Structure 1
Amino acid sequence: MHSHHLERRMPDWPAAAASGFAAGAIVMVLELLWTSIMADSSPWIISRMVAAIVLGPDTMQQTSFSAGIVGVALATHYVLGIVFGVILAGIIAPFHFDSSAGMVLLTGAVFGLALYMFNFYGMVRFFSWFAEMRGLANMASHLIFGMATAIMYWQLERRTPDK
């Protein structure tokens, strides 16, 4: 049984970045499918909302498809995925939360819930247009992001004999 006390242990940064990037892609595809199929709305609404983080709230007034807006949204989404993947690895490694698949998935789920709270109740102060996105669907997507990032990190990290 592994102890989960704080220990000086560096994460595998490339594995963390790749995991966050890949999990961000998974969530992005799920969000596009959800808005297209279940929400009966344009799949580009979320792209405009994400792009507005960088380009400003006027971006959401765009009603038609814009490759530039989608490009900014993709870049923003992937950068945030990498940043959050690195943060999650920075939690997993020093506490040995990568001791088992169950532990790393639990850690990812807790992280995903905390990220949902941060995004939709903290950052909404700066990006008010995300308030309307609060709900179970986005909470689930954040859970999926956290768990996917954690399990991919667990699979990708380079382990040394002392890990």
Structure 2
Amino acid sequence: MKPSPSSPAEPVAGVLAGLVAGAAYLLAQMGFAATVQGGVGWEPLHRISAMLLGEGALPPPADIDLTIGGFGLLIHFALAINFGRVVDLLVRDRGLPAACLRGAAVGLALYALNFWVIAPALFPWFENNRGLTTLADHLLFGAVAGAAYVQLRAWLQMRRAAAPQNA
């Protein structure tokens, strides 16, 4: 079901799409850290939590405590929800292929902004993570957010249409 060109925002679909895409991104980052980099899968959560907790939360601890993990997840998914809403604005009137492409473009813009503008100014520990893998993970985030948004929006609209109208 393709939305009409004058479709209103679907905030629930944007939030849920951000959460789905955020989970895909985080799993990809954690898998890369644990396998290719030879580290531990928790390293991305350490870097993310250091945004609020400071550099003391940075790796190399092989284990993660609940504070670091909790803050990392909280920050990551709060950002993912907001970025899902951005994807909502850009893909709401598109079909699945165009939504994936536009979502990937959002991922590319987020990568450029986060790793080439914000990180050098505020969070220098992210500079070591610039590269093709992080770029690919951001493209993945955007494409998944676009695809999830289109599917969730259609599902929500069908449920709304099927719901009995209150008289």
How would you bin the TM-score normalised by the shorter chain?
0.7 to 0.9
Matching residue of 2:50:
52
Where does the alignment leave 5 or more consecutive residues of structure 1 unmatched?
Answer: none
Distance 1:62 1:69, change over 3 A: farther
Amino acid at match of 2:138: H
Give the stretch that moved more between structures: 70-79 or 26-35.
Answer: 26-35
Matching residue of 1:79:
78
Matching residue of 1:41:
39
CA distance in 2, matches of 1:57, 1:9: 44
Matching residue of 1:103:
98
- Offset from partner CA, 1:116-156 (integer Å, 9 cap, x none): 00110111111111111000000000000000000000001
Matching residue of 1:121:
116
Task: Write out the 4+ residue segments of structure 1 that deviate beyond 6 Å after TM superposition.
Answer: none
Q: How many residues align?
A: 151
Matching residue of 1:13:
11
CA distance in 1, matches of 2:150, 2:23: 18
TM-score of the pair, normalised by structure 1: 0.85
- CA-based RMSD of the aligned residues comes to 1.8
CA distance in 2, matches of 1:76, 1:48: 11
Contact residue 110 and residue 138 of structure 2 kept, 8 A: yes
| 1:159 Cα deviation from its structure 2 partner | 4.2
Match of 2:64, SS state, is coil
Give the stretch that moved more between structures: 103-112 or 59-68.
Answer: 59-68
Matching residue of 2:66:
67
Structure 1 vs Structure 2: percent identity of aligned residues?
27
Give the stretch that moved more between structures: 56-65 or 103-112.
Answer: 56-65
| 1:62 Cα deviation from its structure 2 partner | 6.4
Where does the alignment leave 5 or more consecutive residues of structure 2 unmatched?
Answer: 159-167
CA distance in 2, matches of 1:75, 1:145: 17
